[in-house]
Amino acid sequence: MGKDIKKGLMGVTVDETSISKVMPEINSLTYRGYAAQDLCAKCKFEEVAYLILNGNLPNKRQLKAFEKEERKDRRLSKSLIKVLKEIPKKAHPMDVARTAVSVMGLEDKETSNNTPSSNMRKTMRIFAKTPVALAAFYRLRKGKKIIEPKKNLSFAENFFHMCFGKVPNEDIVKAFDVSLILYAEHSFNVSTFTARTITSSLSDIHGAITGAIASLKGPLHGGANEEVMHMMNEIKKPENARKWINNALNKKKVVMGFGHRVYKSGDSRVPTMREYFGKVAKITNDKKFEKIYDIVEEVMIERKNIHPNVDYPTGPTYHLMGFDTDFFTPIFVISRIIGWSAHVIEQYSTNKLIRPLAAYNGNKYRKVLGIHKR
């Protein structure tokens, strides 16, 4: 491999962004200059969504208008509901999310209009409808009736209502809201770069987000929170944890939920999500996964000096909330739609086609022989 080739674009800066940054001076992920953990402490998810899309935190009037627009856009078309009913019940919910957004693109009257104002309107519709579509599938695959969205519920409350038919206590809702804030945006990650690459050809926002969802599905990106839960279920109980993780490391297995290409001193989102994981474990009176979490983390740091990323506490938190494991990454989607959309809009504003080069290492020139001479 040539020394100038950067596999995985490691260390390559391809563009500028004003949306988010991991600021090394405070070792923190920031959205528009605000530390994500500070936003978790003082804001609800809708305020952070507004911030990421518009550049500043909203005042009361702006937040009310933003919430009103999101809530009025929640209802699904009859045709999309029909599509959801025809999807195989064993389909992965990430594929359902991808399909739902694609169908929305077929239905949206502004799909081919890529002006900033049109893209913002389309963002709000995708943002509002995607969780409704996912919750509908959550019900359908269990043989249950779809629950309609409610306009008097917050984004987080409404998702619980549509999945389970009830809203849990405010501490559970707050923990869910915090997870949405922490997942909302993370600069030029794989799925965001996918969205920006699609946008760079002047394709539409529905196509860009559909591609981003496909990228997020992979276990090396968004699917890691699901893999963490599979690992914890395999460990089964705290007494098995130390032996399991040591054995995995001895066999050089990849342990999901640990390490991050961007953070040098540990993922800054983890302490906040770990705190809320603990709160949910206490409320649900289930400390088993918390104990497994601590043992595996201790061994990983001790033996490999590798710290957890945000997927590690998020997976078991969603499990304790009652969500099926294969719905963890779709929850990531309903949050990250905000980050993707902000990047799509930013890409359009200063667009240049993303078209890297490749170093060829195939055959030298060969003459084509007729089929009878081969």
Residue 82 falls within a domain, yes or no?
yes
Distance CA 256, CA 112 (A): 39
Predicted confidence at residue 91, as pLDDT, reads 97
- The mean pLDDT of 33-40, rounded to a whole number, is 97
Contact between 31 and 180 (Cβ < 8 Å): no
Predicted confidence at residue 334, as pLDDT, reads 98
What range does the domain containing 242 cover? Answer: 224-321
Residue 364 falls within a domain, yes or no?
no
Predicted confidence at residue 2, as pLDDT, reads 53
Residue 360 falls within a domain, yes or no?
no
pLDDT tens digit string along 44-62? 999 999 999 999 999 999 9
CATH classification of the domain holding 88: 1.10.580.10
| Residue 266: closest CA among 29, 14, 10 | 29
Residue 365 falls within a domain, yes or no?
no
196 lies in the same domain as 333: yes
Predicted confidence at residue 26, as pLDDT, reads 87
Give the SS3 label for residue 146. coil
76 lies in the same domain as 213: yes
Active site residues: 221, 260, 311
285 lies in the same domain as 204: no
96 lies in the same domain as 241: no
266 lies in the same domain as 179: no
What DSSP state is assigned to residue 275? H
Is the pLDDT at 32 greater than 80? The verdict is yes
Is the pLDDT at 97 greater than 90? The verdict is yes
Residue 148 falls within a domain, yes or no?
yes
69 lies in the same domain as 122: yes
335 lies in the same domain as 211: yes
The H-assigned helical ranges of the chain are 36-42, 45-54, 60-72, 78-86, 93-107, 116-140, 155-164, 170-183, 190-200, 205-216, 224-235, 238-250, 270-283, 288-304, 311-321, 328-349
| Residue 351: closest CA among 14, 2, 6, 4 | 14
97 lies in the same domain as 163: yes
CATH classification of the domain holding 247: 1.10.230.10
Is the pLDDT at 35 greater than 80? The verdict is yes
Say how many CA atoms lie within 13 Å of 135 toward its Cβ.
26
303 lies in the same domain as 330: no
306 lies in the same domain as 340: no
Structural domains of the chain, count: 2
Boundary-marking domain end, from 321, 336, 363? 321
Contact between 154 and 49 (Cβ < 8 Å): no
194 lies in the same domain as 242: no
Residue 38 falls within a domain, yes or no?
yes
pLDDT tens digit string along 167-181? 999 999 999 999 999
- The mean pLDDT of 25-53, rounded to a whole number, is 96
- The mean pLDDT of 137-147, rounded to a whole number, is 98
Q: How far is CA 89 from CA 26, 144, 190, 334, in A?
A: 45, 12, 28, 20
Using only C-alpha atoms, the chain has a radius of gyration, in whole angstroms, of 22
Is the pLDDT at 123 greater than 70? The verdict is yes
The gap between the terminal CA atoms of the chain, to the nearest Å, is: 32
Residue 157 falls within a domain, yes or no?
yes
Predicted confidence at residue 188, as pLDDT, reads 93
- The mean pLDDT of 101-122, rounded to a whole number, is 97
pLDDT tens digit string along 312-363? 999 999 999 999 999 999 999 999 999 999 999 999 999 999 999 999 999 9
Boundary-marking domain end, from 303, 321, 339? 321
pLDDT tens digit string along 282-318? 999 999 999 999 999 999 999 999 999 999 999 999 9
Residue 298 falls within a domain, yes or no?
yes
159 lies in the same domain as 46: yes
pLDDT tens digit string along 188-246? 999 999 999 999 999 999 999 999 999 999 887 788 899 999 999 999 999 999 999 99
Predicted confidence at residue 264, as pLDDT, reads 67
